[in-house]
Amino acid sequence: MTLSAQEFAYVSDLVRRNSAIVLDTGKEYLVEARLLPLARLAGIPTVSEFVSRVQQRPEPATHEKIVDALTTNETSWFRDSEPFQAITAKVLPDLIPARSANRTLRVWSAACSSGQEPYSLAMVLQESLPAGWTYEITATDISQEMLSRAETGRFTQLEVNRGLPANMLVRHFERDGTHWQVAAGLRENIAFKRMNLAVALPPMPQFDLVFLRNVLIYFDVETKRQVLSRVSAVMRPDGWLFLGSAETTIGIDDRFERVSAGRSSAYRLRGGQTTASAAALGKE
């Protein structure tokens, strides 16, 4: 039995209210495919019956599972490579002199999925920061299932094959049966937390570098604007923001300007570098 228009509307409304993810008409196939395992787990033969049951007996835990199932968690190591090259080519040469007093960098991997992004960031920072420097990565996602997987730091051979260079694998992982385990030296620099970008953020530190990649694409323009505004509020004035290759702040949030960063583009707060230098000179 296929999902009725009313059942599809119920699911897309539920997902939008809880995550801001937009599921337009035409995505019925996606809802069916993603909810079938949940229906089966509940012993219900069809997605249509499962959704009717949820409508009759709404439960927050089931709602959370539905939202989780409808997130798209596609990711890979050093995804698109250029933003990661830009860290060594542009971001660190810019930030290292500016942070020489504290010798620490704070990084946020917002929408980190199963962890490949924050672990890739950790590998770059571990290998490129000068001796005596430290870094802290906050890695967040709305999907509890993804966070639980990310936190283990255990990846299958198939997962490792998706973009992890062999030399990085050798330097930062240990074999564990059929899996690969991220070294403790990387993991101790990353804190994983559940966080919904579509609602007010909890108290956060000010970040030097934010990776907000391949998540704005799921939101409508108003939500993109709100998320970018929240992100701008937790960025250091001279911090760096990287978005996915199909995403931009242009026409959405004028606080940011696009700058070239090696062969990639990044976003910085307009006038931020002036504010930061003035603060460093004690003028503010």
Ligand X SMILES: C[S@@+](CC[C@H](N)C(=O)[O-])C[C@H]1O[C@@H](n2cnc3c(N)ncnc32)[C@H](O)[C@@H]1O
Residues making contact with ligand X (CB under 6 A): 19-21, 71-75, 79, 111, 113, 117, 141-143, 146, 195-198, 213-215, 218, 244
Shortest spacing between CB 169 and ligand X, in angstroms: 18
Other residues' Cβ atoms within 10 Å of the Cβ of residue 35: 24
Name which of 112 and 269 has its Cβ closer to ligand X: 112
Which residues have a Cβ under 8 Å from the Cβ of 30 and sit 6 or more positions away? 23, 70
Shortest spacing between CB 160 and ligand X, in angstroms: 15
CA distance 146 to 17: 20
CA dist 237 → 127, 135, 138, 275 (Å): 25, 18, 18, 7
Shortest spacing between CB 187 and ligand X, in angstroms: 18
Shortest spacing between CB 109 and ligand X, in angstroms: 7
Shortest spacing between CB 116 and ligand X, in angstroms: 6
Name which of 91 and 227 has its Cβ closer to ligand X: 227
CA distance 242 to 79: 12
Shortest spacing between CB 240 and ligand X, in angstroms: 16
Shortest spacing between CB 241 and ligand X, in angstroms: 13
Name which of 51 and 231 has its Cβ closer to ligand X: 231
Name which of 16 and 99 has its Cβ closer to ligand X: 16
Name which of 73 and 273 has its Cβ closer to ligand X: 73
CA dist 259 → 152, 186, 251 (Å): 35, 29, 15
Shortest spacing between CB 195 and ligand X, in angstroms: 6
Name which of 19 and 138 has its Cβ closer to ligand X: 19
Instruction: Write out the two tokens for 4.
Output: 């009725």
CA distance 151 to 157: 17
Name which of 160 and 280 has its Cβ closer to ligand X: 160
Q: Which residues pair with 173 in a beta bridge?
A: 182
Name which of 23 and 95 has its Cβ closer to ligand X: 23
Which residues have a Cβ under 8 Å from the Cβ of 67 and sit 6 or more positions away? 14, 15, 18, 19, 21, 142
| Closest CA relative to residue 160, chosen from 132, 119, 193 | 119
Residue 79: strand, helix, or coil? coil
φ, ψ (nearest 5 deg) of residue 203: -55, 130
CA distance 162 to 75: 9
